[in-house]
Amino acid sequence: MPQAMTFQSLRDDVRNYLERGASVATDPIVYEQIPKLINFAERRIARDIKIQGFQTVVSSTMQTGVAVMPKPDRWRETISMNVGTGSGSVDRQLLFTRSYEYCRTYWPNDEITAQPLFYADYDYQHWIFAPTPDNAYPIEIVYYELPQLLDETTQQNWLTNFAPNALLYGTLLEATPFLKNDDRIPVWLNFYQMAVDSLNTEDIKKMIDRSTTRQEA
């Protein structure tokens, strides 16, 4: 059974493919750059694909009278939100995404409160809600997350476990401009794109299978 990828094994594989960075003594610049290239590849993959593996669900509580809420660490894109309403806050009410300008126009006075209906990006680290919450509503947020970046402490994440090929080829793709080896860019880009396309195809098939199962039920 093949050994699972780790940060250490990926770093070793990248050194072998590049035939560079074997040690800090013999090739210090490339040796020290490889962890950064791995992190660049992780960020590239998170930008390039939106799949179930990057989805995260968090539950929190709104603050009464506060229209702005911080986003979770490593948030990349919001998928949906709902709040708990009614007796015991068990009835889930979907919030609708709108532009910042729409929310400000719809609810221009933050000091007036009511049940929230809409949300928007306030900035990269916060959301804004309209109306301003009139209660401490429980809120459930589904979003795309940047995986915990690999390093000596974090040896594995979703990418090492489920997308090792994309992570390897993505790292090699990031390395070629750094090494000024531009003739290898099309090679690694092709392998990287095939790995990404495979992940997207697999995710689409899962969504179709779930939809079919629900219809049959």
Summarize pLDDT for 122-136 with one digit per residue, the tens: 999 999 999 999 999
Q: SS3 of 206, please?
A: helix
Residue with tokens 């109306």: 131
**Mean pLDDT, residues 145-156:** 96
Q: What pLDDT, on the 0 to 100 scale, is given for residue 211?
A: 47
Burial class of residue 217 (count of CB atoms within 10 Å of its CB; 0-12, 13-18, 19+): exposed
Residue with tokens 């179709």: 208
Summarize pLDDT for 44-99 with one digit per residue, the tens: 999 999 888 999 999 999 999 999 999 999 999 999 999 999 988 899 999 999 99
Helices (H), 19-99: 28-48
Which CA distances in Å does 6 have to 11, 35, 151, 175, 188?
A: 8, 12, 9, 19, 20
Integer Cα distance of 121 and 73 in angstroms: 15
Q: What pLDDT, on the 0 to 100 scale, is given for residue 201?
A: 86
| C-beta atoms surrounding 195 within 10 Å | 20
Integer Cα distance of 129 and 40 in angstroms: 33
Q: Are strands 138-145 and 55-61 parallel, antiparallel or unpaired?
A: antiparallel
Burial class of residue 172 (count of CB atoms within 10 Å of its CB; 0-12, 13-18, 19+): buried
End-to-end CA distance of the chain: 37
Summarize pLDDT for 31-45 with one digit per residue, the tens: 999 999 999 999 999
Q: What pLDDT, on the 0 to 100 scale, is given for residue 203?
A: 64
Q: Are strands 68-70 and 113-114 parallel, antiparallel or unpaired?
A: unpaired
Summarize pLDDT for 172-188 with one digit per residue, the tens: 999 999 999 889 999 99
Q: Is residue 29's pLDDT more than 60?
A: yes
